[in-house]
Amino acid sequence: MSKRTLGVVFFPAFDWAISPTHPEREERLLYTQDQLREEGLFDLPGITEYKPGVATYEDIERVHFCLPDVGRVCSASHLASAGGAIRAGELVLSGERERAFALVRPPGHHAMRVTHGNRGFCNVNMEAVMIENLRRRFGPLRVAIVDTDCHHGDGTQDIYWNDPDTLFISMHQDGRTLYPGTGFLPECGGPGALGRTVNIPLPPGTGDEGYLYVTKNVVLPLLEAFKPDLVINSAGQDNHYTDPLTNMQLSAHGYAAMNALLNPHIAVLEGGYSIRGALPYVNLGICLALAGLPFEHVHEPDHDAKALKQRPQVTEYISRLCDDVLNQYHNPPSRPSEGHRDGEWWRRERDIYYDTDGLSEHQNEGIRLCPDCPGLTCIETSSDRVDKSLCLLLPRNACPHCRDLAHRLVETTGKKSGRYAHVLCIGGQ
């Protein structure tokens, strides 16, 4: 009998792949499916497999500005993957299960607030779609997202950059050595949520010892300080020592031990491209840890603890890094690291490349520096596919002034004016 009831939502997306030989293809989860069933996981009382739901366009539009529209950005597989994450969230928030793991693909943590296509194998952000669906249905939730994917979760960071009710922690391989080249300490949140973004850029060669040290000495104290209602693990597995795209040394046992420490309410699969050597073992370890079951026997056939021992220089670097991260969290800067003040607005300009689709996007973003709420966000965006468009984001509990300003902008800058190809508004998530 499992210590905690666990729901495993499974969706391998049989009909979606970037290409037949691309690392992000359906085999990513088929070996995991075989492993979990061969180990008899679903024969254990308290552990149940579930099918995903299907996210609606409204679910996607609660989070994303999809340009030119949702149908051009999302396939049916993306809606099912997001629906799988929503199903996992429903299992926990409804009380049907104590923990849930969404073993779904395609992944999503590189999908930003504005999305014109696929970047980093991601079109829409599964965790964010789940979170905002749960907030709509179950009321205000204080949420912590701990992203353990080897790549920086730049999409999730962008979506929650100015949200004081969401703590985003990303522990990833240093962006100086890996895509997307972001996720440094100074990136700590927008003007209305300084300190709510926490980046922990780890050096190549970080193994079980380093990940567990960071979890114990940084992540858990931050969660204790923030006191979230809900903890979500973006459970990317590409920091495994056999992953072909990265340079880390985490093992399946290390993953399970890290998850046992985090004890998240919900885990959502992100990256991980060692299809046979890592994912079946890592996913089994995570399931056991979530269910509160022993996982000491979970080891890869080629696991060599001596060969994977973390170098002393890496250990020393991580110790200093953790001190810096904690100091910044408790003493955040007075202004964001990106952009500048322009009257009552905070502005930043960005060029974003969609590596999978080969698209270039240009953004001009302004966040109103509001004394009564996190502030209205106005984004002018254009790409190789879409002419200049205006995206307006009202925060939850937006003040009357920001709401009135958003409504005026929708009325005065609509398509009839000829100024923008599209005018979109997300009104107070």
Query: Tokens 């669906």 sit at which residue?
Result: 133
Does the pLDDT at position 23 exceed 80? no
Which pLDDT belongs to residue 415?
58
Q: Which residues contact 377 (CB under 8 A, 6 or more apart)?
A: 162, 365, 366, 367, 368, 392, 393, 395
- Token output for 221: 């104290």
Which pLDDT belongs to residue 417?
67
The DSSP string of 343-366 is TTEEEEEEEEEETTTTEEEEEEEE
Confirm whether 297 is a catalytic residue: no
Give percent above pLDDT 90 in the chain: 88
Does the pLDDT at position 22 exceed 80? no
Which pLDDT belongs to residue 143?
98
Other Cβ atoms within 10 Å of 185 Cβ, number: 16
Selected catalytic residue, list 109, 110, 151, 240: 110
With contact defined as beta carbons under 8 Å apart, do 405 and 344 qualify? Answer: no
Residue ranges and CATH numbers for the domains of the chain are 6-330 (3.40.800.20), 341-426 (no CATH)
Least confident interval from 73-87, 229-243, 410-424: 410-424
Round to whole Å and give the CA distance between 298 and 285: 6
Which pLDDT belongs to residue 428?
64
The dihedral region occupied by 95, where left means phi > 0, alpha psi between -120 and 50, and beta the remainder, is left
Round to whole Å and give the CA distance between 359 and 368: 29
Does the pLDDT at position 194 exceed 90? yes
With contact defined as beta carbons under 8 Å apart, do 271 and 107 qualify? Answer: yes
